[in-house]
Structure 1
Amino acid sequence: MTVSEPRTGAVPTPDEDAAAELVPAAFEEGRYDADGDPTREESLARLLGGGKAALEGSVPPIAFLIAWLATGGELLTAVIWSLVASAATLVYALVERRRPKAVFIGMLMTVIAAMIAYYTGEARNFFLIQLLSNAASALAWVISIVIGWPFLGIIVGGLIGTKTRWRKDPVLLRAYQRASWIWVMQYVIRVVVFTVLWWLDETTWLAIMRAALTYPLIIACVAVSGWVLFAAIPKSHPGIRKPQVAVAD
Structure 2
Amino acid sequence: MGGISGIVSSGVPVVVFVVVQAIAGNLVASIVAAVVSAVAVAAWRLMRGEAVQPALSGLLGVAVCAFVAWRTGEARGFFLLGIWTSLVYGGVFLVSVLVRRPLVGVIWHLVNGEGQDWRRDPRILRAYDIASLAWVAVFGARFVVQRWLYDSVYADTWLGWVRIAMGVPLAALAAAVTVWAIRRSRRAPADVRAAPRGRSPRRSRA
Contact residue 134 and residue 190 of structure 1 kept, 8 A: yes
Q: Aligned equivalents of 2:13 and 2:79: distance in 1?
A: 13
- Offset at 1:168? 4.1
AA aligned to 2:137 is M
- Cα distance change, pair 242–55 in 1 and its aligned pair in 2 (3 A): farther
TM-score calculated relative to the size of structure 2: 0.81
**1:167-222: CA deviation from partner (whole Å, max 9, x where unpaired):** 34443233212211001111011112211210114223111112222222221221
Letter in 2 for 1:221: A
Residue 90 of structure 1 and its aligned partner are, at CA, apart by 1.5
Q: Distance in 1 between matches of 2:108 and 2:4?
A: 16
The reply to whether residue 204 of structure 1 matches residue 186 of structure 2 is no
Which sits farther off after the overlay, 126-135 or 158-167?
Answer: 158-167
* Equivalent position to 2:11, from 52, 58, 71: 58
Is the contact between residue 59 and residue 85 of structure 1 (CA under 8 Å) also seen in structure 2?
yes
Q: Report the residue type matching 2:113 in the other structure.
A: G
Structure 1 gaps of 5+ residues are 1-47
Residue 170 of structure 2 corresponds to: 217
Post-superposition offset of 1:142: 0.8
Q: Helix, strand or coil for the counterpart of 2:193? A: coil
Distance across 2 between alignment mates of 1:58 and 1:234: 31
TM-score for both structures, normalised by structure 1: 0.69
Instruction: Provide the C-alpha distance between the structure 2 equivalents of 1:59 and 1:69, rounded to a whole number of angstroms.
Output: 15
Q: Shift of residue 130 of structure 1? A: 1.0
Say which structure is richer in helix: 2
User: Aligned to 1:207, what secondary structure does the other structure show?
Assistant: helix
Counterpart-to-counterpart distance in 1, 2:118 and 2:185: 12
Distance 1:181 1:68 in 2: 34
Distance 2:42 2:100 in 1: 35
In structure 2, stretches of 5+ residues that fail to align are: none
What residue in structure 2 maps to residue 135 of structure 1? 87
Q: How does 1:1-249 map to 2 (within 5 A)?
A: 50-71=3-24, 73-201=25-153, 202-227=155-180, 229=181, 237-238=188-189, 243=193, 245=195, 247-248=199-200
Task: For 1:78 and 1:205, locate their aligned partners in 2 and report how far apart those are by CA, in whole Å.
Answer: 16
- Residues 50-91 of structure 1: CA deviation (Å, up to 9, x unaligned): 5223222221111112211221x2111112211122122212
Structure ID, larger Rg:
1
How many residues align? The count is 198
Secondary structure of 1:51's match?
A: helix
